[in-house]
A = this chain, B = another copy of it.
Amino acid sequence: MTLLLDDEQRMLRDSAQQFLATRSPVSALRALRDRGDERGYDPEIWREMADLGWPAAVLPAEFGGLGVGYKGLGAVFEQVGRTLAATPLLSTVVLAGGLLAEAGSASQRDLWLPKIGAGEALLALAIDEAPRHDPTQVTLRAWREAGHWRLDGQKEFVLDGHVADRLIVVARSADAPGHRNGLSLFLVDPAAAGVQIERTWLVDSRHAARVRLARVQLDDAALIGAPDLAFDALDCVLDRARACVAAELLGVITEAFGRTVSYLKERVQFDVPIGSFQALQHRAARLYVEIELLRSCLAAALEAADAGADGAAALASLAKARASDLGERTLNEAVQMHGGVGVTDVLDIGLFLKRARVLQQAFGDGTFHRDRYASLRGF
């Protein structure tokens, strides 16, 4: 048990850094945006990432998993954040792969996990409905009808939902909104009758989907795990995703902060580098302090995810809350400290700002996770 990376994880991180620097630097995202890419990621790059083993990183060993755990994958996510690389890693691997590995039937696992590990299938999790994340509030209905399941309702902010081969839909099969009990998971083909997918263009040049299910009919094989009892597996997988998003945010934050500190050293006004102004120095130092604190929280959250430890949920909330808030603060400061040029599209800072906001909202912001942390601590 350690907060530090082991040698294998370190190697994975270093190779990710090298790969991304050459194959998917920030300019790649800019190009994706400027050409109005409809997918929101580059399939060729994704294939190369698969060759590096990223989608297999946390798969069970029998499906070719690398065994580097979430600490290893988190290190990759941090590097992904540093270059704003567009990948379906979170939706396909952490969320969908995680749910199938955690709760899927043998046949579901056998069919999908190898494809996921090979980077040959894309999947997405359809969970959020309201503007703000809250899994217990799911209202999309699932019910039995004539030997089948029926799903009816609407999902929003389905990351990569517009390119997914399959959706995992969180539905309410029992109890009222607000309850943990009564949630079920379904594997849904986007081509099925009654499924309507609408691509939405997000501010970070990536896409999400709005998904409408109109009395969609599914057979029992579509159910993942036991009906009504999906919450625990879902919550556990969401916590891993929250930790991975926090890791990506840490990458976004450290890169933007590093660029800002460099700018403070270079930019001369009033005949001195602006980084010599004490007010800016103290603000930069405060950001550094928060980054170091976040790094510790994140390492602990990833470690706990790997260990399946009791405190994993609280640590995931701790990491995601701090990452969300620090992303907001650091990028706002980065823009302000860059001055006029900071609000122009020529600089990359704006791209980091935008990505940080999407990640801030993904699977709960600071307010959500402080609330959750308080509940977990029993108050």
How many identical subunits does the complex contain? Answer: 2
Interface residues of A in 264-293 (CB under 8 A from B): 277-279, 281-282
A285 to chain B, nearest CB (A): 10
With CB as the reference atom, state the residue of chain B lying closest to A277.
B278
**SS of A interface (majority):** helix
With CB as the reference atom, state the residue of chain B lying closest to A283.
B279
A234 to chain B, nearest CB (A): 33
With CB as the reference atom, state the residue of chain B lying closest to A281.
B279
A282 proximity list for chain B (CB < 8 A): 279
Report the bound CA distance from A135 to B278 in whole Å. 47
A281 proximity list for chain B (CB < 8 A): 279
Report the bound CA distance from A338 to B159 in whole Å. 52
A278 proximity list for chain B (CB < 8 A): 277-279
Interface residues of A in 246-262 (CB under 8 A from B): none
Report the bound CA distance from A282 to B277 in whole Å. 11
A279 proximity list for chain B (CB < 8 A): 278-279, 281-282
A247 to chain B, nearest CB (A): 32
A284 to chain B, nearest CB (A): 11
Q: What are some 6 contacts across the A-B interface (CB < 8 A)?
A: A277-B278, A278-B278, A278-B279, A279-B279, A279-B281, A279-B282
Question: Top 4 nearest A-B pairs by Cβ distance?
Answer: A278-B278, A278-B279, A279-B282, A279-B279
